Amino acid sequence: MNKLALVTGGTRGIGAEISRHLKAAGRVVVASYAGNDAAAAAFAEETGIAVKKFDAGSFEACETAVAEITAEFGTIEILVNNAGITRDGTLPKMSRDMWDAVIDTNLGSCFNLCKLTFDGMRAAKFGRIVNIGSINGQAGQYGQVNYAAAKSGIHGFTKALAQEGARFGITCNAIAPGYVDTDMVRAVPPDVLAKIIARIPVGRLGHADDIARGVLFLTADNADFVTGSTLSINGGQHMY
């Protein structure tokens, strides 16, 4: 049961809840973060979960981090690519930097960390990869061509890697959360958010643990027949 899990963006929001759930399920967890030292320190203090600061969008930073984590804790057998940012704006107002930042962090991080952990999982004959996509990668969202492209890319990436990993005991699945009550969603203008919530049949924003429970299902030791799937957890907002 004591398999090692790396959760990117794992100290805040949905990622923090994923980290907590994996630890409660008996996993050894390392939660990565990129910027907010105070939140990471408070999270580590509260949970006893190890935290590691690196930019998941940088291949070099991931290379160093994976080497250090492996040396300290062992093989990463469970990988949750949760790190994500938004840089919303309509296309005319979107700069190339806003595009690059979202593609690198949200999609590039999946490539970086899957590539750097795949060999270890293959040697262990066990791997569980969960990539956190989004309803907005499935349905699109006004003001998010960058984010929708990155998240949609995650869904394709997941299905391709699932085919490569299957014969090595490595599963690769995606979760597509809807609008979940986190700092990221609270940053949406209130009038826009009110309209979005009005379109959620369940009638509320998601909670981070609604997503974390999905990660537990997909990373279970006996979940080896579930691969290449996308689990939509969105209160019925988009049935896909």
State yes or no: residue 147 binds ligand CAA (CB under 6 A): yes
Kind and range of the H or E run holding 230:
strand 230-233
**Closest among 182, 161, 169 to 230, alpha carbons compared:** 161
**Closest among 230, 234, 137, 106 to 177, alpha carbons compared:** 234
State yes or no: residue 167 binds ligand CAA (CB under 6 A): no
State yes or no: residue 232 binds ligand CAA (CB under 6 A): no
State yes or no: residue 99 binds ligand CAA (CB under 6 A): no
Give residues with Cβ within 8 angstroms of 128, minimum separation 6.
77, 78, 79, 170, 171, 218, 219, 220, 223
Position with the least CB separation from ligand CAA: 143
For the beta sheet containing 170-177, the strands, ordered from the edge strand earlier in sequence to the opposite edge, are: 50-53, 28-33, 4-7, 76-81, 127-132, 170-177, 230-233
Q: Which residue among 33, 142, 147, 240 is the active-site one?
A: 147
CB of 97 to ligand CAA, least distance (A): 16
Question: What distance in Å separates the CA atoms of residue 220 and residue 206, rounded to the nearest whole number?
Answer: 22
Active site residue 240: no
CB of 174 to ligand CAA, least distance (A): 12
- Please, which of residues 19-78 interact with ligand CAA by CB under 6 A? none
The piece of 5-13, 61-69, 137-145, 158-166 that touches ligand CAA (CB under 6 A) is 137-145
The piece of 56-64, 83-91, 101-109, 221-229 that touches ligand CAA (CB under 6 A) is 83-91
State yes or no: residue 134 binds ligand CAA (CB under 6 A): yes
The piece of 13-21, 46-54, 67-75, 178-186 that touches ligand CAA (CB under 6 A) is 178-186
- Give how far Cα 164 sits from Cα of 17, 36, 108, 167, 171, Å: 29, 35, 18, 7, 9
Q: How, if at all, do strands 28-33 and 50-53 pair?
A: parallel
State yes or no: residue 93 binds ligand CAA (CB under 6 A): yes
**Among 88, 116, 152, 162, interactor with ligand CAA by CB under 6 A:** 88
Binding residues (CB under 6 A) for ligand CAA: these are 86, 88-90, 93, 134-136, 141-144, 147, 177, 179, 184-185, 188-189, 192
The set of catalytic residues is 147
